[in-house]
Amino acid sequence: EAQILRRALRRERVIRARLDILSFPDDFLCERYRFSAQSISYLDNILRPYITHVTHRGHPLSSVHIICIALRFFANGSFLYNIGDAEHVSKATVCRAVRNVTVALKRLLYSFVFPGHRPTRFIKEGCHKIAGVIGCIDGTHIPIIAPSVNEGDYVNRKSFHSINVQIICDAANIITNVEAKWPGSVHDSQIFRECTLSTKFGHGEFTGYLLGDRGYPCLPYLLTPYPDPEPGPQQRYNLANCRTRARIEMTIGMLKARFQCLQRLRVTPERACDIIVACVILHNIATIRGEHCPSGPNISSDPNHEHPDPPTDIQDGR
C-alpha cells in the first residue's frame, strides 16, 4: 500500500520553458550562431524536412532549436557538454543535433556549391585582373584528433593530423568547389588531379581558368606563377596572379573565422569531412545573405596553409 501511495504522490514532471531563440536581437544571435533571425528562419525552412521526426514522447525540440544547437557547435567548436549547458540540453542531444543538421546540409551541397549561384560570365567579370579566370584554388589543412585507423596517413608536413581540403572560390568569396576527403599527407596537386572537377575541365566542360600557386602543375585550364619570372610581362603576370589569389586566402580565412570548430575537430575523419562540407555550405549561405563575418587572425592569412613545393610531375601548359 505504501508503494502505491508513493506512486500516486509522485511529483509531476516539470519541463523547463524553452526560450524563443528568434526573439533575441540579431547581434546576440550572430555572435552565438553566426546568423541573424531572418537567416535562421531561412535555414529552418530548407532544413526542416530533413531534421524533423514525428514523436509522441515528451517535449521534442523544435527544428529551429535543433539548428541553433548545431550552429553553436559550428561557430565555437566547444566540447559537446559545453554546448549542451549553454543550450540547456544533454550532451547526447547536442551530438544528435550536430549530426542531423550536418547530414541535412550535405544533401543541399549542389544547391549552394559549384556549378553555382551565378553564370560563368559574371564570375569572370569579378576576376578582372586576369581575363577569363573563374576561380582561385588552394588547399587548407583542418586539424583533427589522431584517428584509430591509418593514423600515419593523416600526419601532414607540419607533423599534425589533418584533413587536406581543396577549396575553389570566386571573386565574391563564394566557395564554388570543395573536396574534403583526403588525409593530410596527400599533396594539393594530387587532390586536384583526382577530383571530378579536374576531369570536367580536361574535357572542356568549363570555359575559363583557375588560378593556383606553385603547388599545382600549370595546365591549359590552371594558371600558376612563373618560378623564375623575367622582368616585364612575366613579373607583371606573377603580381596579378598573386593579387588575384589573395581572394582564396581571404575566403578560407572567413570560413575559419565564422566556424571555429574548424580549428580542430575531435571526431573521426569521416565525420570531420562531413562537418567541413556543412561549414562550407553555411559559409556560402551566410555570404549570399550578407551576414556579418567576425574578425579574426585567420581573415588575412591561414595558419594551416602550407606553401608547398612544386609537384614533381609538373606540366607546363603555358
pLDDT tens per residue across span 75-92: 999 999 999 999 999 999
Long-range pairs for 152-161: beta carbons < 8 A, 24 or more residues apart: 152/185, 153/183, 153/184, 153/185, 154/183, 154/184, 154/185, 154/269, 155/184, 155/185, 156/184, 156/185, 156/306, 157/306, 157/308, 158/304, 158/306, 160/184
For residue 233, CA distances in Å to 133, 209, 218 come to 18, 19, 17
Beta carbons within 10 angstroms of residue 182's beta carbon:
23
Please report which confidence band the pLDDT of residue 307 belongs to, taking 50, 70 and 90 as the band edges: low
In the chain, the percentage of residues whose pLDDT exceeds 90 is 73
Contacts with 111 (C-beta within 8 Å, 6 or more apart), sequence order: none
Contacts with 316 (C-beta within 8 Å, 6 or more apart), sequence order: 218
Give the mean pLDDT of the chain: 87
Looking at domain 110-288, which of 2.60.40, 3.30.420, 3.40.1130, 1.10.287 is its CATH number?
3.30.420
Pairwise CA distance, residues 276 & 72, whole Å: 15
Per-residue pLDDT for 220 more than 70?
yes
Domain residue extents for the chain: 2-107, 110-288
pLDDT in tens, 280-294: 999 999 999 999 999
Phi, psi of 135 (to 5 degrees): 175, 160
Pairwise CA distance, residues 50 & 70, whole Å: 14
Least reliable range by pLDDT among 20-34, 70-84, 284-298: 284-298
3-state secondary structure of 231: coil
3-state secondary structure of 117: coil
Least reliable range by pLDDT among 162-166, 229-233, 302-306: 302-306
- Residue 300 burial class via C-beta count within 10 angstroms: exposed 0-12, middle 13-18, buried 19 and up: exposed
Mean per-residue pLDDT, 138-148? 97
Return the DSSP state at 294: P
Contacts with 98 (C-beta within 8 Å, 6 or more apart), sequence order: 69, 70, 73, 74, 80, 275
Per-residue pLDDT for 4 more than 70?
no
Q: Which residue has the cell 579536374?
A: 198
Specify whether the CB–CB gap between 71 and 64 falls below 8 A: no
Predicted pLDDT at 316: 42
Per-residue pLDDT for 27 more than 80?
yes
Least reliable range by pLDDT among 127-141, 163-177, 295-309: 295-309
Please report which confidence band the pLDDT of residue 55 belongs to, taking 50, 70 and 90 as the band edges: low
- Which H/E stretch holds residue 183? strand 175-183
Per-residue pLDDT for 70 more than 90?
yes
Least reliable range by pLDDT among 19-28, 37-46, 103-112: 19-28
Per-residue pLDDT for 116 more than 50?
no
Pairwise CA distance, residues 69 & 84, whole Å: 8
pLDDT in tens, 257-274: 999 999 999 999 999 999
